[in-house]
Amino acid sequence: MTVGLDIGTTKVCAIIGERNENGILEITGVGRSPSQGMRRGVVVNIESTLRAVLQAIEAAELMSGREVEHCWTSIGGACIEGLISRGVVAVNGKNREQREITEADIDRVLEAARAVDFPMDREILEVIPQSFSVDSQGGIRDPRDMIGVRLESEVHIITCPKTNAQNLVRCVNRAGFMVDGLVLQALAAGTAVLTEEEKDLGVAVVDLGGGTTNVLVYANGSPYATFSVPTGGYQVTSDISIVKNISIETAEKIKIEAGCCWAPLIEGLEEDIIVPGMGGRAPFPIPRSLILEIIEPRMRETFNLVRQRLEKIATARPLGGGLVLTGGGANLLGAADLAAHVFKLPVRLGEPLSLGGFAADYRNPEYAAAIGLVLEGDLRERQSVYGGVSEGKVRENSGSGPFGRLYKWIKSEFF
């Protein structure tokens, strides 16, 4: 059983995946809950976040009939930084004439590439190999069993602040679950929605979250750059709330049910949106075209910020795969059309790849990161790449056994 836990600014989503008797990965449980303890990818209230985590996982447990003990958790936000690093080592061999590259040589060159000076308050989240060179022959994806003397690697290193990662893991721990590992949110979303052809052509995953928009660029089949911009779906909701002087809850409902950010899609429609009254005030209508005038500038601003950052990234070729939109913001009517207009590139919505079980019911960009966590976790567990969490990410309280379940019940009832 593999569990993905996507902790965002506005929602927490938990998905349980299991392999059936034929070895096919199926989604057997899905749970979600509102999130109020996160701001732009950073924990600001541990108790609120752990309650949301507990509610989401318990809902997934109820659907699947299984008890969750550990999970793969997403991390994102403006705190994430990425850079390119290179490493070089001499190939060890049994004799001087034929030095065959082994797994140990690859491990050494990757270790050399990650030997980069970072501030004391940051830690490495991911080290993703992009390509290898053997005796100056570049563009090699897998150098195993090749003959050479000099092995070089180019990797994409993703880092995050130590305190952000520790606080996120602490929330999950205190809810009674162990964190198997932290996975970059955009990387998980890319795993769920991208094809190998798109990765080879070059593509950008734009994850439109509640507090931030996270972007991961692929080039030549591998992650190449990552960044975040400090705007998201919550800012759109806030704009509606402020301009029309209505509550955040009402503004969010209007955005979801009647929001649009591309004018041609509602041309000729003069329908009004009825806003419920509150505090003795009678309900009142808002033209749908006015809602568009509020939403469209904020979404355009978000896409322009992403475009400006993309233009500074030097890729060997244009993004032939275009852009793939994921996250809850991708469901906003007209988001793909507006993005295509701003970026002048092909744009599509990132629906998660088809899996068995209940996956068909959740083929929605909103669930891309959570489903991607299940896929990433399952792959890493099968490859035994990661044996557990890194230093500082230990479980404080197990979710298994009667004491673990009692702990979670106490948390849900009294905290």
Please say whether the beta carbons of 133 and 89 come within 8 A: no
Phi, psi of 153 (to 5 degrees): -135, 150
Q: Is the dihedral of CA 183, 189, 191, 197 positive or negative?
A: negative
Q: What share of the chain is helix, strand, coil (3-state, %, to 5)?
A: 40, 30, 30
Cα–Cα distance between 152 and 109 in angstroms, integer? Answer: 7
Gap between the Cα atoms of 238 and 210, Å rounded:
11
CA distance 109 to 106: 5
Q: Find residue 31's DSSP bridge partners.
A: 14
As a three-state string, the secondary structure of 344-393 is CCCEEECCCCCCEECHHHHCCHHHHHHHHHHHHHHHHHHHCCCCCCCCCC
Structural domain includes residue 103: yes
CATH number at 151 reads: 3.30.1490.110
Q: What is the DSSP string of 182-211?
A: EEEHHHHHHHHH--HHHHHH-EEEEEE-SS
Q: Which residue has the tokens 């244009």?
A: 318
Query: How many domains would you assign to the chain?
Result: 1
- Has residue 50 been placed in a domain? no
- 392 falls within a domain: no
Strands (E), 220-367: 222-229, 272-275, 284-287, 323-326, 347-349, 356-357
Q: What is the pTM of this model?
A: 0.83
Question: Could you give the CA distance from residue 328 to residue 30 in angstroms, rounded to a whole number?
Answer: 16
Q: Mind listing the pLDDT tens digit of every residue in the chain (415 residues)?
A: 899 999 988 889 999 998 888 888 888 999 999 888 788 778 888 888 889 999 999 999 999 898 999 999 999 877 888 888 899 999 886 655 668 888 888 989 999 998 888 888 888 888 888 889 998 888 888 888 888 889 999 999 998 888 888 888 988 998 889 999 899 999 999 999 999 999 999 999 999 988 889 999 998 888 888 998 888 888 999 999 999 888 898 899 999 888 899 999 887 767 788 887 776 677 888 888 889 999 999 999 999 999 999 998 887 778 899 999 999 899 999 999 999 999 999 999 998 876 766 656 678 899 999 999 999 998 888 876 434 333 333 333 334 443 454 444 444 444 4
106 in any annotated domain: yes
Q: Which two tokens stand for residue 389?
A: 């969490």
- Cα(415)–Cα(400) distance, integer angstroms: 20
- What domain range is 91 assigned to? 81-161
